[in-house]
A and B are shown apart, each in its own frame.
Chain A
Amino acid sequence: MQTRLILKVLGFLLIIFSVSLLPPLLIGWFDADGTHLVFLQSWIAVLVLGALMWLPNRKKSDDLRIRDGFLIVVLFWLVLALSGALPFMLAENPHMSVIDAVFESMSGLTTTGATVLTGLDALPRSILYYRQQLQWLGGMGIIVLAVAIAPVLGVGGMQLFRAETPGPMKNNKLTPRITETAKALWYIYFGLTVLCAMLYFAAGMNLFDAIGHSFSTLAIGGFSTHDKSIGFFNNPLIDTIAMLFMVIAGINFSLHYLAIRRRSLRQYVSDSEVKAFLLILATLSVITVTLLILEGTFEDTGVAIRLGLFQVISIATTTGFTTNNFSYWPGLLPVLLIISSFVGGCAGSTAGGMKVIRVELLLRQGRREIDRLLHPNAVLPIKLNKRPVPDSVINAVWGFFALYVISFVSLGLLMMMSGSDIVTAFSATAACLNNLGPGLGDVANNYQSISDAGKWILSFTMLLGRLELFSLLVVLTPAFWKR
């Protein structure tokens, strides 16, 4: 462990993060509601903390080792969640307790979208903007951003990059240089966000809402500036735009990169993960809409289609926007939707969940075992996009799946121990582990009723989901700390 080097990188990342406190500061100053002081204090605190870590160690330059990389990523997310919570604690409205503020900040950064706040419409605009921005930064990853703007991390940057980006195969760089890859990802992310904001604005949102919602849409976050979420606008056009961009953000960003570079959409058509992703969304939509119509939940068929489609896409991509409280929907629908969030979006997207590609590989592996019973001597490689997948990847996917299930079950049990009923406990764990947001039971709208212990558990769960288990769990193993 190279403590001073780790401190240097952490300090540096914090200094970069501190810049993100300036836009809400400006908004608070513009609105003259007194919140600019909150953000000024937070900015100075984060900046000073970062400088204290960076300055004494800035001359340290050594290659980051594997362990350093993991530790930096985990520590950074922790420090970020804590320092990101500062404005929530310092502000008069909302004046949040430590755990509530950390929960809110963690939920923002991990793009979960679970909130303990109500009465959003009455909050200062600076705080609302800040929440949306947290999601946006966490979506593509603030470490990826740091790698993009600070080439100094060098090969070590690659380490950090891989610990933060989702998906089972992380060796597919878009460009030779990691800095360029990170830049390309952020350009696309930024471009799509701008486009989304303009469309929201054109569809009738005001500028503030348009920008705020474009942040949480592209990040697949789910925070809104209104208690009623997207349902507040009650505008079919806005629903459609949101659905479109949730799907786009749920697709692997390397495909967007290739599509832009080669100016063709062929990449999407030939990618098996995207096909599976769209197939899953389509199947879920058909089931949901059919059931809603058959059960007569909504009087109007058009409304059923609109609300059904929106909720399927919002939950299955792990966004968590709501236009209707789906926990009251009939039959299997609430549970079906929560389960669909386990699959989540594509690898390399901003979505949570286990990722479509992993599920696809698991299913094909299962299929292979059945085929093997029929043809005991057959050589049956598992192929993805016409290429055989190395066994090491498949093993890693199995390991991931096993840990995911174990994490879900044990964290759910812990939640029950902390005082939640079974539906609330397990749906909240699923919603946090998959970075989804809304759950069922007591957490269908917000997480206020969860006990403090429960909120700490869920905060950990959100981070576990965002870092895709391994990066966080490896730091928790005793072997990691042995010399």
Chain B
Amino acid sequence: MTDLALEVDGLVKRFRVPGGGARTAVDGLSLAARRGTVLALLGPNGAGKTTTVEVCEGYQDPDAGTVRVLGLPPRTPSLRPRVGVMPQAGGTYPGLRCGEALRLVASFAARPLDPGALLERLGLTEVEGTACRRLSGGQQQRLSLAMAVVGRPELVFLDEPTSGLDPQARRGTWELVEALRADGATVVLTTHLMDEAERLADDVVVVDAGRVVAAGTVAELTRHGAAGQLRFRATPGLDLDQLLSALPEGCLAKESPAGQYLVEGPVDPQLLAAVTAWCATNGVRADDLRVETRTLEDVFLELTGKELRT
């Protein structure tokens, strides 16, 4: 048994567009989700996240590339009880009540979670008797999440699980994802929210225009390229050559704009100590001294030249 819950290799998916021709939604995308971890597909709307997930769920066939879900082709019938799916929208009988809809899906599973407890945890107890078509968007999202996990699957696909949720409901969803991971399930989710990926994901795959533009752990992605920036504020016109002579070899220093200083080099405790020692010796009060770190948002902007929140 492989330790990968999901393997996508060179996935290509094209759609015919009206008026002839084809649009390539996914263009040679590869990714892997390790068992018992959370993988986030991060990218703007239209990046190909949903198409990728739908191929993995067996809803669409790839035009090229291979996909293995728990080691099997996505359409394998024996996968259905083992995989939980939360689509981006819809999927409940409008005429069934919230509790009925969840109990119906629970009745398809051999050892389902207790639907009542699940509704309670997701804050849906008050609307248990409400017809699905009368639920708010956020309530439908949470019901959809409950339906994805009630059968106790090994692997769960969540397509934009928190879009349209208020902060409290979002936290509830995050807690559920974290608990699933802690109990050994694998979660693959798509999001265009940085804080969501940063908080939940072990691995992040940044997707843009159907391609992977970066992949790795959150720490790897945010560390890379931002290594070695130290910033502080002080009186304008400090002697930078004198500062540099006090620092280890290979460092750079500049002042831009006036009074804002940037030191570039291998940021470690020694460098920090050298900078502060130089300031102490020269009677410089450094304000706002900080080691620069990047967020996933910076990474995305740098890699694609686009803002993520569109």
The answer to whether A and B come from one shared complex is: no
Residues of B within 8 A of A (CB): none
